Structure formats: structure tokens, C-alpha cells
Amino acid sequence: MVVGVGSKNISGSFLEVVEQQGWTGLWAGNAINMLRIIPTQAIELGTFECVKRAMTSAQEKWKQDDGPKLQIGNFSFNLNLSWLSPVAVAGAAAGIAGTIVCHPLEVLKDRLTVSPDAYPSLSVAVSKIYKDGGIGAFYAGISPTLIGMLPYSTCYYFMYDTMKKSYCQSKNKESLNRPELLLIGALAGLTASTISFPLEVARKRLMVGALQGKCPPHMAAALSEVVREQGLLGLYRGWGASCLKVMPSSGITWMFYEAWKDILLLQRHPL
């Protein structure tokens, strides 16, 4: 189900795909999605951990030195950056890094999923996209993708870290078990997806419009077009289907990430 287009409900989209493409159509673009998700998650989680540690260390240093200083000529200004959340900054950095590096794979996935007739295979898609627009074509739509990713990624990592710490404090626990991590990860994905979903609708409208030759000029125009045609509720069309994907994916990601982190730390520092 493509956000904002196609059938108006999940079951209708499910049946439509099966009728048009057979059962295998439900996994259309899955190979490229797997190729995309593995490096994206690795880059995001690695960036998140690195930036969070760097920001936390920097803030501790700033507290001792009265904050960073900005020198302009003979004038010196102390910048108060204590309000910045290391987790939120790290989440934003993670989303930006993952998007910039892996956007070409996102473009391929969208083309294979939305236009299977024009792009029947990965090799054909790569060849056709490069022939039509060169290397730059693989970064088509990166601006709206970054605009949509920034609030999602910031909220996603911030909510997970905040809920995890709050839950540990309320239960007087140092760590969470796997089902608790699964639940908190799923709730973080739900919250982030709900907050940023209108931007994802606009991004998909731009992407599908570009393929059909009637693309809105920018994200604001896409949002305005959705509201004009479908009302405010149109901004959340497909939200239910998105949650069915995001919640288990997010929960499983965090559960396995924390499990592997525990294993690797135990190997580095054996008891």
C-alpha cells in the first residue's frame, strides 16, 4: 500500500495487489528493501551512538567551562546549549546520515514497488534511472525525504531513549527484558510515525506524481493538494497500514539491537 494513493483501506489494497500481481506481489521490491534497510539501520544506529556520546561529553565539558564561546572580532559570547538534548541531536544526525548514504536504494525501492511494469527488475531499474538522469537521478526527491525524515528520526530515537529510562526508573531496574524492549521500541515507532506521517504522505504524493508526470512543485504544495482533495484526514490516509509495518519493525529492531549490544559488550568485558 503506497501512502496516500491506491485503495482506501488495508484489506482493499491487499486484495488489489494479489489480483494484479499474485501473491508474490506482496513482496514486490522486498529484495531491494532488504539491501536498503541493512546499511541504513547500521549507519543510523552507529551514528546515533557516536553522536550521543560526543554530545553528552561535550555538554559535561561545557558545564565546567560555562558553555562554548563564540568569538567575533574583539567580542566573545557564551552560548548556552544546555537545553539541547544529546539524544534528540543524535537522532536527527542518524536520520540525516542514513538518508544521504542510502537514498539511491530508496529511489530503487520506490520505482520497483510503484511501477513494476516499467521497472521489472533491479538491473533494469538501475540502468533506466541512470540513462534517464545520470547519478543525480538516484538522489531525486532527497529534499522532501530529508524534511520528512528529520522529525521522524529525532522523535523516534528520543522517544525510545526517554521511555526506556523512565520505565527503568519507575520499576527500579537497570535493564529491560526482551518483551519490554519490544514494546517500548514499538511505541517509539508508533509515536514518531504519527507525528511525522503527514510529511510521509506528501513525500509519497511527490514521488508518485513525478512518475505520473503531474508532480506538485514542492512539499507544501503536496500537503495543500492532499487537504484540498481529501480534507485534513487525508494527511493520515494509510496511517493504520503504516503502523502495522512500523510498530513490529521498530520493536524487533530495538530488541535485537540491545541484545547484540549486550553480547558484544560481554565479549569485550568478560566477567
- pLDDT, tens digit only, all 271 positions of the chain: 444 455 556 777 778 778 887 887 777 667 777 888 899 999 999 999 999 999 998 888 877 776 666 667 666 666 666 778 899 999 999 999 999 999 998 888 878 777 778 888 888 889 999 998 899 889 988 888 898 899 999 999 999 999 999 999 998 988 889 999 999 999 999 999 999 999 988 888 887 776 666 777 788 888 888 899 888 888 998 888 888 889 999 999 999 999 998 888 777 666 5
Look up the pTM and report it.
0.82
In the chain, DSSP assigns E strands to: 69-72, 75-78
> Measuring CA to CA, which residue among 161, 148, 271 is closest to residue 220?
148
Residues facing residue 70 across a β-bridge: 77
Q: Where are the domains of the chain?
A: 10-64+78-263
DSSP 8-state class, residue 26: G
Q: Could you tell me if 6 and 17 are in contact, meaning their C-beta atoms sit under 8 angstroms apart?
A: no
Can you name the CATH fold of 10-64+78-263? Mitochondrial carrier fold (1.50.40)
Angstrom distance (rounded) from CA 101 to CA 209: 24
Q: Could you tell me if 106 and 138 are in contact, meaning their C-beta atoms sit under 8 angstroms apart?
A: no
Given the C-alpha cell 514499538, which residue does it identify? 186
Q: Exposed/middle/buried for 25, CB within 10 Å: 0-12, 13-18, 19+?
A: middle
Residues facing residue 72 across a β-bridge: 75
Angstrom distance (rounded) from CA 190 to CA 168: 20
Angstrom distance (rounded) from CA 46 to CA 95: 11
